[in-house]
């Protein structure tokens, strides 16, 4: 019998076909339909239907578009929550939006808050202003997107923004691969939480190569899994009891410095 505190998470690390929504959705459909083992959460990369394009006027969809419809379908097929980020048009604005869809139809969204100015993302997309916590199967889960990972205050776990698992989806290039490996480990240690990162692989339309290295870190910062450069579909198990017991035995949070940031957490029950 499965422990009620165990969460089975599937990391989907794949090459993305540049600016080809239909081909990417078909590829992910094939992969997810091939998944035979039980899983509770399936995580796809950042902008999984297009790659990290700065042409939202050509490739954005609404929340009623085919990409979100596929997320809903995959959740129903697998019985799991399925998530990743997409280019979404909403009331005339374009967002790099993380979307979480559950088998029961519940949909939760987070708009990327830190837009990657070195790639001129801020010139093409609107930024988000709210962090969220998703309550799911007894876990408190918070999602971030790629560049958000570089900002420890934004990622900081506090009494009012308390989470057990941080998910980061990305299109993180190999040229900054050291940062991709070190920063999530630091966030795990700082926040005494599980960290799961899901990156893409392969070369994009701007000739940037992505080394993958999707990872899982435990609350002490130990590396539990690294996907390397290959395309993979990997299911791992993490246990909430590890978070609870480690925070009890090493209660760093009791000595945390208190301060406030301007954006508030939106806690979704």
CA–CA gap between residue 162 and residue 210 (Å, rounded):
31
Pairing of strands 232-239, 6-13: antiparallel
Helices 66-78 and 21-33, packing angle to 10 deg: 0
| Options 102, 112, 121, 155, the catalytic residue | 112
Which helix (H) or strand (E) segment holds residue 5: the answer is none
CA–CA gap between residue 146 and residue 113 (Å, rounded):
10
Q: Are 53 and 59 in contact (CB under 8 A)?
A: yes
Active site residue 112: yes
Locus of tokens 């697998």: 78
Active site residue 83: no
| Options 83, 102, 121, 146, the catalytic residue | 146
Active site residue 155: no
- Cα dihedral sign, 164-133-43-184: negative
The set of catalytic residues is: 46, 112, 146
């Amino acid at each position: 019998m499965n422990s009620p505190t165990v969460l089975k998470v599937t990391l989907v690390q794949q090459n993305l076909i540049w600016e080809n929504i239909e081909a990417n959705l078909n590829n992910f459909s094939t992969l997810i339909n091939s998944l035979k083992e039980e899983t509770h959460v399936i995580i796809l990369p950042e902008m999984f239907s297009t790659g990290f394009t700065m042409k939202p006027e050509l490739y954005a969809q609404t929340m009623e578009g085919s990409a979100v419809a596929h997320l809903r379908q995959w959740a129903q097929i697998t019985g799991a929550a399925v998530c990743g980020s997409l280019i979404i048009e909403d009331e005339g604005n374009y967002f790099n939006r993380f979307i979480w869809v559950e088998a029961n139809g519940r949909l939760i969204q987070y708009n990327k808050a830190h837009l990657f100015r070195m790639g001129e993302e801020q010139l093409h997309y609107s930024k988000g202003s709210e962090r969220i916590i998703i309550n799911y199967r007894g876990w408190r889960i918070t999602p971030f997107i790629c560049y958000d990972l570089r900002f420890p205050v934004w990622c900081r776990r506090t009494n009012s923004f308390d989470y057990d698992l941080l998910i980061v989806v990305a299109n993180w290039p190999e040229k900054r691969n050291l940062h991709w490996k070190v920063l999530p480990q630091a966030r795990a240690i700082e926040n005494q939480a599980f960290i799961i990162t899901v990156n893409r692989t392969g070369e994009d339309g701007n000739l940037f190569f992505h080394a993958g290295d999707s990872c899982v870190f435990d609350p002490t910062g130990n590396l539990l899994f690294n996907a390397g450069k290959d395309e993979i579909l990997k299911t791992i198990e993490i246990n909430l009891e590890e978070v609870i017991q480690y925070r009890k035995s090493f209660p760093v949070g009791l000595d945390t410095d208190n301060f406030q940031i301007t954006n508030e957490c939106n806690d979704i029950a």
